[in-house]
Chain A
Amino acid sequence: EVVLTQSPATLSLSPGERATLSCRASQPIGFYSAWYQQKPGRSPRLLIYDASNRATGIPPRFSGSGSGTDFTLTINNLEPEDSAVYFCQQRDIWPYTFGQGTKLEIK
């Protein structure tokens, strides 16, 4: 199965800064990656699909890029409400797999 490795495990930034989160696949998955946000005690929410497309209602501060084995989620102009765990997912190769997550803390 495809192993998705996310880095860093934890990221601590201040409001207004930019966050850059990485997801690396153990084999090429084309553009078939997605990013989710999970706030404490809440269920996950789809942010980005097909590597770079924002899901419905997601603000443009969130953007995704990459292809093949390397994917990036960028969050511009961080807000306190962006504190959450962010994890990636691939759907190119069955079974669908997820990264272990990056915890983003807003100082």
Chain B
Amino acid sequence: EVDLVESGGGLVPPGGSLRLSCAASGFPFSVYWMHWVREVKGKGMVWVARIGVDGSGISYADAVKGRFSISRDNTKNTLYLEMNSLRPEDTGVYYCAKASDHGVNWFDPWGRGTLVTVSS
């Protein structure tokens, strides 16, 4: 069974950093594009970043470009999101999502999410 488990969230002051991880199992991780999506209270889902199967094809939402970095380790079946210069508006639940079998930019399944709170 496909499973995605995020970790690394927490409370961080503005300007701080966090590194999120997403441990994947139950599917051949190295052949799937992966995404990060955040859920913002009152606003809904916001796509954050994506990465291709070999680490290429990286793209970011404008709101995080230059501050966040997505990467993957196919030997460890793990996806990462390095977040720097965090702002209060980065607060939310961060989900990793596997690219669907029906298209690289549909998300299926999603992980359980990890909460990031940026506040002093």
* Chain A interface (Cβ < 8 Å from any Cβ of B): 34, 36, 43-46, 49-50, 53, 55-56, 87, 89, 91, 94-101
Contact = CB atoms under 8 A, between A and B. Distances in A.
Interface stretch (B9-17, B70-78, B81-89, B107-115): B107-115
B61 interface: yes
B111 A89 contact: no
B68 interface: no
Q: How large is the interface on B (under 10, 10 to 19, 20 to 34, 35 or more residues)?
A: 20 to 34
A103 B71 CA distance: 34
A34 B44 contact: no
A42 B93 CA distance: 12
Contact of B106 (A46, A99, A100): A46
A99 B44 contact: yes
Interface of B: 43-47, 59, 61-62, 95, 100-103, 105-113
Contacts of B110: 43-45
A89 B45 contact: yes
Contact of B102 (A36, A44, A49, A95): A49
B43 to A, nearest CB: 7
Contacts of B112: 43
Contacts of B47: 95-98
A50 B103 contact: yes
List the 10 closest A-B pairs by CB distance, nearest first.
Answer: A46-B108, A91-B105, A98-B45, A43-B110, A96-B47, A100-B44, A49-B102, A49-B106, A44-B110, A95-B61
Contacts of B62: 95
Nearest to A46: B108
Contacts of A101: 44
Given A43-B109, A43-B111, A100-B43, A94 B100 contact: no
Nearest to B102: A49
Contacts of B111: 43
